[in-house]
């Protein structure tokens, strides 16, 4: 916040103090990074379940969902790293890729079942 030509910063948080605006101020890139790591763990767990409990549609659906989510967020990283899409369009990129991934996942799922 700029007042009278100088920057005014809020006071720093004390140890153990909770910032109520922390989640709202967190950039989408951090959330995408975090959810890609969580989806990687989900893929590993669901792949193990898929191997041991073969032909369970719920496990297959969850595995396909986790792989799709992980792949779309990985595609986001590739597009940003190679400067194909600018960081300015990051929020639209995440939403568009996840939406496209869900459409492709639905097509794959309904073509199998």
Q: Name the residue among 30, 112, 106 with its Cα closest to residue 73.
A: 30
- At 65-81, the pLDDT tens digits run 999 999 999 999 999 99
pTM of the complete model: 0.77
Torsion sign over Cα 27, 31, 33, 34: positive
- At 22-75, the pLDDT tens digits run 666 678 888 899 999 999 999 999 999 999 998 899 999 999 999 999 999 999
């Amino acid at each position: 916040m700029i007042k009278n030509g100088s920057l005014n910063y809020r006071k720093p948080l004390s140890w153990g103090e909770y910032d109520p605006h922390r989640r709202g101020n967190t950039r989408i890139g951090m959330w995408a990074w975090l959810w890609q790591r969580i989806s990687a763990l989900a893929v590993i767990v669901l792949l193990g379940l898929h191997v041991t409990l073969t032909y369970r549609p719920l496990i297959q659906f969850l595995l396909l969902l986790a792989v799709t989510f992980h792949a779309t967020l990985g595609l986001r990283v590739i597009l940003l790293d190679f400067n194909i899409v600018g960081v300015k369009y990051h929020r639209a990129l995440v939403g568009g890729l996840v939406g496209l991934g869900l459409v492709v996942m639905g097509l794959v799922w309904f073509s199998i079942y």
